[in-house]
């Protein structure tokens, strides 16, 4: 997976975050012919199950399932992500390298500090990436659109993407993480394969129902969405 210009880039704190929150959308975009990519900030080294090496290897397998053109892991400290200048500059350099048109970030409020830190870092790095004088070795670039994957946030989405045709491939990608979702002891903290499939199917079904399809993934944007033709707007009112 060589770094080239991307249409869509998703940034997340840990391997398997993207698979859970926006994996179906990345698959759909790839199937439409867009170049997609993922940057995981950490290797999940503080996780209860699995080693960093296992999780990075599993993430490469999942990337193939999701048809992404590029995936990288920046190996930042898991459970200790900080919104520091070095971290922002590292991500800004990656954004200038990959030049994504659309950037997908975690929702900016979350239970896990790494998740909202990843959101902060991605947003602020995008601003830095557009500064001409940031460095003399690369060209400035800012994504034209930033989307926030809000599947685990208790908020009303700005829009929902139909992933009905992509849901099974998305689940196949997630279940590549055998270290996380393989057989577990009774009473273990992490759900097994059957449980995670049931949970994510229920959530995707909930958001799919909101737009009249089987499965959906929700997103939030901070700006208004422009509509030029109100006659062809999707999703029926009644």
Domain with residue 139: its CATH number is 3.40.50.10320
Residue 238 located in a structural domain: no
**Does residue 96 belong to any structural domain of this protein?**
yes
Instruction: Name which residue leads in pLDDT, 137 or 3.
Output: 137
Residue 187 has pLDDT above 60, yes or no: no
- On average, the pLDDT of the chain sits at 94
Confidence of residue 60 (pLDDT cuts 50, 70, 90): very high
Residue 108: Cβ within 10 Å count: 18
Tell me, what's the pLDDT at 200?
95
103 assigned to some structural domain: yes
Q: What is the 3-state secondary structure (H, E, C) of the chain?
A: CCCCCCCEEEEECCCCHHHHHCHHHHHHHHHCCCCEEEEEEECCCCCCCCCHHHHHHHHHHHHHHCCCCEEEEEEECCCCCCCCHHHHHHHHHHHHHHCCCEEEEECCCCCCHHHHHHHHHHHHHHHHHCCHHHCCCCCCCCCCEEEEECCCCCCCCCEEEECCCCHHHHHHHHCCCHHHHCCCCCCCCCCCHHHHHHHHHHHHHHHHHHCCCCCEEEEECCCCCCCCCHHHCCCCCC
pLDDT of residue 98: 97
Q: Look at residue 237 and tell me if it is in a domain.
A: no
pLDDT, position 194: 86
In a domain, 2, yes or no: no
Share of the chain above pLDDT 90, in %: 87
- Asked whether residue 1 is domain-assigned, the answer is no
Residue 171 has pLDDT above 90, yes or no: yes
| Interval 187-210 mean pLDDT | 87
Work out the widest C-alpha separation in the chain, in whole angstroms. Answer: 56
Domain hosting residue 181, numbered range: 8-232
- Tracing tokens 């193939």 back to the chain, one arrives at 64
Query: What pLDDT, on the 0 to 100 scale, is given for residue 184?
Result: 64
pLDDT, residue 185, reads 58
- Candidate from 1-5, 84-88, 176-180 with smallest mean pLDDT: 1-5
Residue 204 CA to residue 207 CA, distance in Å, equals 5
pTM, full prediction: 0.95
Q: What is the CA radius of gyration of the chain?
A: 18
For residue 125, what are the CA distances in angstroms to 43, 82, 214, 223? 20, 13, 35, 19
What's the rounded mean pLDDT across residues 47-68? Answer: 95
Average of per-residue pLDDT across 96-115: 97
| Per-residue confidence (pLDDT) for residue 191, from 0 to 100 | 74
Domain count, the chain: 1
């Amino acid at each position: 997976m060589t770094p080239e210009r991307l249409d869509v880039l998703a940034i997340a704190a840990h391997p398997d975050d993207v698979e859970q929150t926006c994996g179906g959308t990345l698959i759909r975009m790839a199937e439409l012919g867009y170049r997609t990519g993922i940057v995981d900030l950490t290797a999940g080294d503080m996780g209860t199950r699995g080693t960093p090496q296992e999780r990075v290897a599993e993430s490469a397998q999942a990337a193939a399932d999701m048809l992404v053109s590029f995936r990288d892991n920046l190996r930042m400290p898991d459970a200790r992500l900080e919104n520091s200048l070095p971290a922002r500059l590292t991500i800004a350099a990656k954004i200038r390298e990959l030049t994504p048109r659309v950037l997908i970030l975690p929702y900016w409020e979350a239970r896990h500090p790494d998740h909202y830190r990843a959101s902060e870092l991605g947003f602020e790095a995008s601003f830095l990436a557009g500064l001409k004088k940031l460095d003399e070795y690369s060209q400035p670039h800012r994504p034209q659109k930033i989307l926030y994957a809000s599947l685990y946030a208790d908020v009303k989405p700005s829009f929902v993407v139909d992933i009905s045709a992509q849901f099974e491939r998305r689940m196949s990608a997630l279940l590549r993480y055998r270290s996380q979702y393989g057989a577990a002891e009774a009473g273990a903290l992490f759900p097994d394969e059957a449980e995670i499939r049931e949970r994510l199917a229920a959530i995707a079904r909930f958001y799919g129902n909101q737009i009249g399809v089987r499965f959906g993934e929700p997103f939030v944007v901070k700006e208004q969405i422009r509509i030029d033709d109100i006659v062809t707007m999707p999703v029926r009112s009644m």
